[in-house]
Amino acid sequence: MKLSARNQFKGIVKNVNEGTVNGIVTIEVNGEAVSATISLNAIKELGLKDGASAIAIIKATEVMVATELPKISARNKFQGVIKSIDEGAVNDIVAIETKLGVVSATISKNAVKELELSVGKEAYAIIKATSVMVGIE
């Protein structure tokens, strides 16, 4: 299956913490932990367990960008360096090179300007665990 989501990271499930309705699945990708909050039904249907292969899938519109690491409830915070900024009419696509891989974020042109983002500048890609989808091959 091909998806339009720009961010797709293959890794290994390191932990599945099941709750009553949802669970938190931790996928290790290049030494980085990606947390995904998904339904128990999805965990069971996908056969997710420690050691299983999985793909963390994140739409670029769900990625926030920061120039300093804030105290924030989002579980996924990846430090990196801006690799490119593709300019659009309203939004720009910011690509941040992290240990995870290149994380793409679609953010407003105003945000790019306010944060003074530029190629080579350090930045953080921040994603809530509820914004991470999990897939298998």
Residues of the chain with pLDDT under 50: none
Distance CA 45, CA 12 (A): 17
Strand blocks (E) in the chain: 7-18, 22-29, 32-39, 53-58, 64-66, 76-87, 91-98, 102-108, 122-127, 133-135
- The pTM of this model reads 0.95
| End-to-end Cα spacing for the chain | 9
| Chain center to CA of 101 | 10
Distance CA 93, CA 101 (A): 16
Q: Is domain 7-135 classified as CATH 3.50.50.60?
A: no
Q: In the prediction, which pLDDT does 90 show?
A: 95
Q: In the prediction, which pLDDT does 91 show?
A: 98
pLDDT in tens, 10-19: 999 999 999 9
Q: In the prediction, which pLDDT does 2 show?
A: 87
Are the beta carbons of 126 and 99 closer than 8 angstroms? no
